Chains A and B, each alone.
Chain A
């Protein structure tokens, strides 16, 4: 395996009594990368995450952590923020974070030291003696985030970390994630929020119907899903535009913007190039703007999961 992979998954299978949750999953997650784990609801993401966290055992296949077979000793090297998350409501914030930190292997003294740093950083200094039930949802989310990252894990697994956060707190957490990455933490981000994926992930994998259907860097994947779509804004008659070039392209969409100004979306077929197309129309209409349409991760996701 490549030494740059922090997590390597080979031939992973997991079945429940009534269905197959993971079917031959192979995945490699690069060190110090933000890795987007995407897929529709029920695709098997949570099962995969739980196997990495050793909450569940796979039926077949191996998971390697930094080149070693995953074992209990790696528990302290992983920080996990599950989608279904919460805190003990009746416990005080301070007691609770200390408890969770010690469960992750920190000494009480170390935990206190690190907590004061994080509490200050996320503006939670005055919450120490509050009961969790008195915190707002956003405040509780911040506390959960702190307990996940406190023990400085090598791998951080975040399942929908931004759900329920207001835009300000959402940005705050996003920036923290980016900073953790800068400090060499590898992050697995499982989310349906495709904008965040586009913003912060470098690599993604899509799981659908318990199988991995796609993996690669964001740019690579987008490139693979490019369909040679172009938008052209021109000044001129629509008939002249459509009749200028015969064959090699399809009109996908056409709208009139203002008077003679129109916007056309076209798809080039086979080897037909944009240069040939421009040559064809340049004498009939005046070209104002030409753009290649790059698919968003959202487009890729929908296409990949519905084409199956």
Chain B
């Protein structure tokens, strides 16, 4: 094995053999899954049935307010005023909500219905209540104006707006696709930071352990730096591939179980959380969207390309920072200028989604320090006029490549001087001096 190969393999093996790496390889996808499950669980209504006491001052709602088993309505006794009914509601543990429909609610648009609660109802419950009240008012007014109910139903519509690019019909609903891009952008951001910081730590370790001089008497300092960057980058790609495989296996094994549960209610699952929270409908629109409309094949290719470009750009600079300091605590002053563009890119991602062909989107996806994050968002929204053109992607990759070659060359100069300068905290002026020399 060549010496560079030897160093790459040491850098790679010492990291992938670490317990934390093995743990993170399996914990990462689990955490992501857990997070999805948790949010879906938290947004789920956790009550099976709501007992709702209705105070209908106009007495016009009782036949038209839609009743159901889940949202069970019962009418407040006649002859009691609103305050008395509130007392009844408070005392009766069976009752969950009190809906107050004032006398002129049905006839004017000026009044507001009230919902009193003991435990705050979810937004889903709130939506349900306002929809059945609206529905009742509409029904009342339809009757009142002698309109035929079937005519009314045929008039009343609820449409979905499919937003389609005229030049490329494949480009539909690009804003929705952007959320996949945002997720990938977060991964790129996380991976670039995670692994370029590992390069920096590795350099600091070699410097503080004082082994670096022995190593660079066998290979050149630039070879050592590049071997370290490549070794750690391979660790990142390995981690990504493991995550992808584990996620895929989990999707294949867990999701069908959940779907089966939904289709066959007699099937008992032990895990209450999973059972209650994550019932997936295979026809669910979001799932169909993610499986059918997102262009995974080229998204993954570009994800890896932009991750690598961004990683190479930042890890070279991080290696230079590692070489310039004696301990990690001293890195803060140098890290800040590197973090700002990345955080800025993440913050700007939502603006890019709003208008993916704006000049802001263009520049942020071409400037190499932000392009890995912004370009993946734009690519996720579809390639073509409405989001990003092929030439823009090529230009962005080209700029990223020449910039990382440039920064790596500059970093190499700082690195070479820095690793042999012990015991003094380098300042920006030292870095410039090392660059010039």
Chain A residues positioned under 8 Å from B3 (CB to CB): 102-103
- Is there an interface contact between B437 and A75, defined as CB atoms closer than 8 Å? no
State whether B221 touches A147 (Cβ < 8 A): no
Closest to A90 in B: B14
The answer to whether B214 touches A100, judged by C-beta atoms less than 8 angstroms apart, is: yes
Contact A87–B216 (Cβ < 8 Å): no
Minimal beta-carbon separation of A28 from chain B (angstroms):
22
Within 8 A of B (CB), among A73-98: 75, 78, 80-82, 84-91
B10 on the A face (CB < 8 A): yes
B-contact bits for A56-88, CB 8 A (1 contact / 0 none): 000000000000000000010010111011111
> Does A99 lie at the interface of the complex (its beta carbon under 8 Å from any beta carbon of B)?
yes
**Closest CB of chain A to B437's CB: distance in Å?**
5
A194-230, CB under 8 A of B: which get 1 and which 0? 0000000000000000000000000000000000000
Which single member of A17, A82, A85, A91 contacts B14 (CB below 8 Å)?
A91
Whether the Cβ atoms of A103 and B210 lie closer than 8 Å is no
* B422 interfacial by beta-carbon distance below 8 Å: yes
CB < 8 Å: which of B213, B218, B420 contacts A103? B218
The one of A17, A18, A55, A89 in contact with B216, judged by C-beta atoms closer than 8 angstroms, is: A55
B209–A88 CB distance below 8 A: yes
Residue from B10, B209, B210 in contact with A99 in the complex, judged by beta carbons closer than 8 Å: B10
In the complex, the answer to whether A85 meets B214 with C-beta atoms within 8 Å is yes
Q: Which chain A positions have C-beta within 8 A of B420?
A: 50, 55
- Give the CA-CA distance A91 to B14 in the complex, in Å: 8
B114 CB–A CB distance under 8 Å: no
In the bound complex, residues from chain B placing their C-beta under 8 Å from that of A144 are 214
Nearest opposing residue in chain A for B209, CB measure: A86
Q: Could you tell me if B209 and A17 are in contact, using CB atoms closer than 8 angstroms?
A: no
> For residue A88, which residues in chain B have a CB less than 8 angstroms away from its CB?
205-206, 209, 211
Find chain A residues with CB under 8 A from B211 CB: 85-88
Contact B213 A99 (CB under 8 A): no
| Shortest CB distance B39–A (Å) | 38
> Chain B 1-38 against A: per-residue CB contact (8 Å), 1 yes, 0 no?
10100110010001000000000000000000000000
B80 is an interface residue with CB less than 8 A from chain A: no
Chain A interface category by residue count: 20 to 34
CA distance A153 to B422 in the complex (A): 28
Residue total for B at the interface (Cβ-Cβ under 8 A):
25
The answer to the question of A246 belonging to the interface, with a C-beta cut-off of 8 Å to chain B, is no
Taking the complex as formed, is B436 at the interface, i.e. its CB lies under 8 A from any CB of chain A? yes
Interface flag for B107 (CB, 8 Å): no
Task: Report the separation of the CA atoms of residues A54 and B213 in the bound assembly, to the nearest whole angstrom.
Answer: 11
> A84 touching B210 by the CB < 8 A rule?
yes
Which chain A residues border B205 with CB–CB below 8 Å? 88
CA distance A55 to B422 in the complex (A): 15
Query: In the complex, A17→B214 CA distance in Å?
Result: 25
Q: Does B59 touch A at the CB level, under 8 Å?
A: no
A53 within 8 Å of B by Cβ? yes
Residues of chain A lying within 8 A (CB to CB) of residue B425: none
Q: Which of B210-239 contact A (CB under 8 A)?
A: 210-211, 213-221
Query: Which residues of the other chain, B, contact A82 by a CB distance below 8 angstroms?
Result: 210, 213-214, 217
Contact in complex: B14, A104 (CB < 8 Å): no
Please determine whether B437 and A86 come into contact, CB atoms closer than 8 angstroms. Answer: no
The chain A residue with its CB closest to the CB of B10 is A99
Contact, CB under 8 Å: A55 / B433 = no
Chain B residue with the shortest CB-CB distance to A147: B214
Residues of B within 8 A of A75 (CB): 217-218
**Cβ of A72 to closest chain B Cβ, rounded Å:** 8
User: Would B209 and A80 count as touching, CB distance under 8 A?
Assistant: no
Which chain A positions have C-beta within 8 A of B221? 55
Question: What residues of chain B lie closer than 8 Å to A54, measured between beta carbons?
Answer: 217, 220
CB-CB < 8 A to A147: which residues of B?
214
The smallest beta-carbon distance between B260 and chain A, in angstroms, is 47
* B217-A55 in contact (CB<8A): yes
- Asked if A17 and B436 sit within 8 Å, CB to CB, the answer is yes
Q: Say yes or no: A78 contacts B217, CB within 8 Å.
A: yes
For the complex, what is the distance from the CA of A81 to the CA of B214, rounded to whole Å?
7
Task: List B contacts of A104 (CB < 8 A).
Answer: 218
Contact B209 A53 (CB under 8 A): no
Please name the residue on chain A nearest to B206 by beta carbon: A88
B215 touches A103 (CB 8 A): yes
Shortest B108–chain A CB gap in Å is 76
CB neighbours (8 Å) of A99 from chain B are: 6, 10
CB-based nearest A residue for B422: A84
Residues in B neighbouring A90, C-beta threshold 8 A: 14
B218 with A84: CB separation less than 8 A: no
* Shortest Cβ distance from A78 into B: residue: B217
Which of B7, B217, B436 is most buried by chain A, counting CB atoms within 10 A of its CB?
A: B217
Q: How far is the CB of B213 from chain A (nearest CB, A)?
A: 4
Contact between A87 and B422, CB atoms less than 8 A apart: no
Name, among B213, B219, B221, the residue most crowded by chain A CB atoms within 10 Å (CB to CB). Answer: B213
**A17 and B437 contact, CB distance less than 8 A:** yes
Closest A residue, CB atoms, query B417: A16
Given contacts A87-B209, A99-B6, A103-B219, whether A80 and B214 have CB atoms under 8 Å apart is yes
User: Distance in Å from the Cβ of B7 to the closest Cβ of chain A?
Assistant: 8
Residues of chain A lying within 8 A (CB to CB) of residue B218: 75, 100, 103-104
A195 to B: closest C-beta gap in Å? 26
In whole Å, how far is B18's beta carbon from the nearest beta carbon of chain A?
A: 9
Write the residues of chain B forming the contact surface with A, with a CB cutoff of 8 angstroms.
1, 3, 6-7, 10, 14, 205-206, 209-211, 213-221, 420, 422, 433, 436-437
New contact pairs (14) apart from A85-B210, A90-B14, A102-B1, CB-CB < 8 Å: A17-B437, A55-B420, A80-B217, A81-B214, A82-B214, A86-B211, A87-B211, A88-B206, A99-B10, A100-B214, A102-B6, A103-B218, A144-B214, A147-B214
User: Which residues of A line the B interface, CB within 8 A?
Assistant: 16-18, 50, 53-55, 75, 78, 80-82, 84-91, 99-100, 102-104, 144, 147
- Interchain residue pairs with CB less than 8 A apart (25): A17-B433, A17-B436, A18-B433, A50-B420, A55-B221, A80-B217, A81-B214, A82-B213, A82-B217, A84-B210, A84-B422, A85-B214, A86-B209, A86-B211, A88-B206, A88-B209, A88-B211, A99-B10, A100-B214, A100-B218, A102-B6, A103-B6, A103-B7, A103-B218, A144-B214
Please provide the 4 A-B residue pairs with the shortest distance between their CB atoms, ordered closest to farther.
A86-B210, A103-B218, A82-B213, A86-B209
